[in-house]
Structure 1
Amino acid sequence: MQAVQAERFEDKEHELLTLSEYDVIIVQISGGKDSVACVLHLLERGISPEKIRLWHQEVDGRDRQFMDWPCTRRYLELFAQKFGLKLEFQWRKGGFLSELMKTNAVSAPIMFEHNGAVVALAAGQGAKVATRRRWPAMSASLQTRWCSSSLKIDVSTRVLNNHPELARPGLEILLVTGERREESSARAKYDEVLPHKSNSQRRRVDQWRMVIDWTEREVWAIFERFNLLPHPAYLLGFSRCSCFGCIFNTADLWAMMREIAPERFARLAYIERKIQFTIDNKLTLEEKANKGRLHRLPLDHPDFEKWKHWALSEDALQLEDLSGFVWPAGAMRGADGGSP
């Protein structure tokens, strides 16, 4: 590994400290290639694993799987174990389905792990009683694409503001996220470094989009250098590791989901009918999947059934499975199937 480089990063008027000056470096990790690449890059630069903390927001909470990949939690636990990193999970109670079906109520409490216990953060005094019963909009706006705001960003920010270990005055925190400009026109406009919205005079919180100018090929290259297995979603031909049932899934991706996990697909289609509101602006899930093809699924690969089992199981992956890079069928297929 390389020694920590004593360089500073600037973006417009904001400047990061050198990496060694931060008390803690938090990486928002989805299990997708870009956030994992951020962690690998920190390790490659010589950052001590003790300084790195991995945070993952579970979009389904601790309830029945609804939107996310069943294997994501397991993949992250094994990844953290492999590299000796601390991993903490956070979620909104009831997850995506509870928020989707919310009727004349405030949003459920936010939960997070701390020292082996689960801490609950109830809705604040300003929480509004509301009804959703509509899928998030397929939009870049977080006001209408509520899955990202309510289940990820708001969860992370409230935990950051209420975590007992992160409240000490004078603390210097770096929050690393994995957006890349290559992914979309919206992300192309993002700043690389900026003060996080939880930054204050009491403590410093910087945000660094570490791989924002990396190409996808550079991302896969760091997986190869570490000989690390990617998230099984990529092995099955998915180009993004967002939710399994991401609202931005293309017709091909919905067709692929229906092929490998028909019961999961059927449940989403059932909820569409129940709330009389479709994910797509014009088509039902069935109609959209009918327009898709299965050519991205590596059905003829000898390991296809194993990869599918890994992806659809909560505990099939084993630690030794992560030691072996596989060039995934989902690589270099663009940024379809994830938030803009």
Structure 2
Amino acid sequence: MDIPEIIRDIDCTINTKVIYGGPIKPIYGNNIQISPQYKGRTETSHDKRNYLANLLPLETYSKIIVLFSSGKDCLGCVLHLLELGVPKDKIELWHHLIDKGSDKKMDHPVTLPYAKAFAKALGIRLRFSWREGGFWSEVFRLGSSAPVSFEDAGGITTVESKLWQRTIELKALMEQAELEDNLDMLETCFNELKQIGYRMKLPAKVSDLSTRFCSAYLKIMVGNVAIIHSEETKRDCKILMVSGERRGESHNRRVYNECEKHGTNAETRNNRTVHVWRPLIDWSLRDVWEKIKRFRINPNPLYRVGLNRVSCALCIFNGPSQWAGVKELYGSGEGSIFQQIVDAEKELGFTLDNKVDINTFIGDAVSCIDHSNLLALEQVMKGIFYPEDVFVPLGQDWEFPAGAFRGTEGGPC
């Protein structure tokens, strides 16, 4: 593919020219096919298998699903769809819960309240999916990965891997063996569990999703399971998955295709068409903020306290200043979410950074937190955000948040 010239996030400022974020005309219902501005890649077998020259007309899809993290780019996707004329009842926001069923936490406390408030304020359906036990169940995995659960038409559906029940049986036998001091049984069970699956390490700071497993196991795979097993998307449907990746975020995302077939596409077997669209792929950071500004949306307050990205609080791509910010916001003593990383590094003998432990990595970095917006600080620290907070009131100026143009410090979301 011809890789376009892009404005990298690190080079983008409040004065960067708006190219794509301005007003657009609605096209929904006019039988218009959307074609990517730049032809997608077809070099590898994966590229060829998933290549898609253009999308179907938007009104052709049974539902349009926005992968919704609560960050600026997914906000931009939703607002872009609305401007294109897509009815709200055709859109769904899918949010993956990464702390569900775990006493330990990974996410910012305000992320989920913001997602709920945004969906309610705009009148768009919000659905949740999760891996039982969340992030930490996968970090300390011995045996099968935990089941995936999601909200379906009839309630909560849970899908177990084939070896999940055997994993439970073996762990129960290990507990009994410990009580009986039966070392042979303990070793036998442990070895079988290890053959089923063994993680016992933190995710790596790489693009390979097999070792950066947090994205793969807590988001991508969870979403795929939900599509394949949901009564609403299992068969006889046409689904458009919308996500907010942009070329300006990172070197890897620079070569993403704007549209392609999704991994769950099964037109022959289940009459299920699943396409992917990255409508903001060529947008600059300034374009995204312009769209949000025109709709007068208050973004996630994490941006207003100085963070440049809304990912997990304990994201592996946090830079030293973001980690210092996490410590400032949520504390660093016993029981804090930061201390979980410190303890995990010691227990696993595996550091989050590939060279040094987390405290050495942070060093004497200055916190990225901006204290000028007291309301945003309260929302972030208490984990509160209400539907009435979503829109900036008329008569009040919309302002760029403190973290709006802090480049790509910390890597892509």
TM-score range, shorter chain: over 0.9
Question: Aligned ranges for residues 81-230 of structure 1 at < 5 Å?
Answer: 81-103=120-142, 105-115=143-153, 117-124=155-162, 129-169=196-236, 171-201=237-267, 202-230=271-299
User: CA RMSD for the aligned pairs?
Assistant: 1.9
Aligned residue in 2 for 1:274: 347
Q: Secondary structure at the match of 2:302?
A: helix
81-90 or 5-14: which moved more? 5-14
Task: Work out the CA distance in 2 between the residues paired with 1:183 and 1:339.
Answer: 5
1:178 Cα deviation after fit = 0.7
Answer whether contact 1:246 1:338 (CA < 8 A) is retained. Answer: no
234-243 or 13-22: which moved more? 13-22
Task: Work out the CA distance in 2 between the residues paired with 1:96 and 1:129.
Answer: 19
Task: Work out the CA distance in 2 between the residues paired with 1:219 and 1:339.
Answer: 15
1:58 Cα deviation after fit = 1.1
1:200 Cα deviation after fit = 1.6
Task: Work out the CA distance in 2 between the residues paired with 1:283 and 1:54.
Answer: 38
1:18 Cα deviation after fit = 1.2
Q: Secondary structure at the match of 1:112?
A: strand
Task: Work out the CA distance in 1 between the residues paired with 2:297 and 2:385.
Answer: 13
Which of 303, 308, 320 is 2:388 aligned to?
A: 320
Is the radius of gyration larger for structure 1 or structure 2?
Answer: 2
Task: Work out the CA distance in 2 between the residues paired with 1:65 and 1:239.
Answer: 24
Answer whether contact 1:244 1:257 (CA < 8 A) is retained. Answer: yes
Task: Work out the CA distance in 2 between the residues paired with 1:326 and 1:25.
Answer: 30
Q: TM-score, normalised by structure 2?
A: 0.77
Which of 295, 304, 310 is 2:379 aligned to?
A: 310
Give runs of ≥4 in structure 1 deviating > 3 Å: 124-128
Q: Secondary structure at the match of 1:139?
A: coil
Identity %: 36
Q: Please give the per-residue CA displacement for 1:97-156, whole angstroms capped at 9, x wherever unaligned.
A: 1111112x1000001012472211101469971121111110011111000000000000
Task: Work out the CA distance in 2 between the residues paired with 1:176 and 1:205.
Answer: 11
**Aligned positions, number:** 333
Matched, 1:4 2:72: no
Answer whether contact 1:230 1:326 (CA < 8 A) is retained. Answer: no
Note the residue ranges of structure 2 that are not aligned, 5 or more in a row.
1-23, 41-50, 168-194, 393-397
Q: Please give the per-residue CA displacement for 1:38-73, whole angstroms capped at 9, x wherever unaligned.
A: 011101111100000110111112433521111111
Q: Secondary structure at the match of 1:185?
A: coil
Question: Aligned ranges for residues 10-21 of structure 1 at < 5 Å?
Answer: 10=35, 11-12=39-40, 14=52, 15-21=54-60
